[in-house]
Structure 1
């Protein structure tokens, strides 16, 4: 269009109508629901049961749980170190400095 001397508006996408996006409701599970979910996960995919417990008890997101390594667990101090996450099956840096965290473990 530029080569044909056609004037472009300042923002070529300004006239595109965007779809309405509804806010997702956050769902907080009760302790009983967490236990039920963990039990169900044990039946469906046992290795992922720990994902339920870490999400519920340590407040970790799926990517943070998936990014945990053995070296991120300090058993003596009872701490988990959140240092990276997994996105699309690959290791990824955390988005902000505040994302790097040290979570106390209740298992100690």
Structure 2
């Protein structure tokens, strides 16, 4: 009876490995294409567009966020104009949404701030 059980276990492991290999083989070209598309669309945008992408309301807040040491915002300077990486603006916005969701799950979303 144990030989039969061992046979099913090894077959299950083999089947699981075979399925995972097929999934990896199928998704690999898609992941490469996504990386290529992301590289093509990462452009630097002006402050007005960065405000819309990040969800920040004022230029002063945007400026203070970019000057923080651990900021997600990537910037470059073109003369006096500061440009923001579109991908970093989106990542910043997503990180704030995730933070808000975590707070609401913990029951801290409706707590008053002083």
Identify the structure with the greater helix proportion: 2
Q: Point out which structure has higher relative CO (alpha carbons under 8 A, 6+ apart).
A: 2
Task: Give the TM-score range, shorter chain.
Answer: 0.3 to 0.5
Identify the structure with the greater strand proportion: 1
Quick check: which has more Rg, 1 or 2? Answer: 2
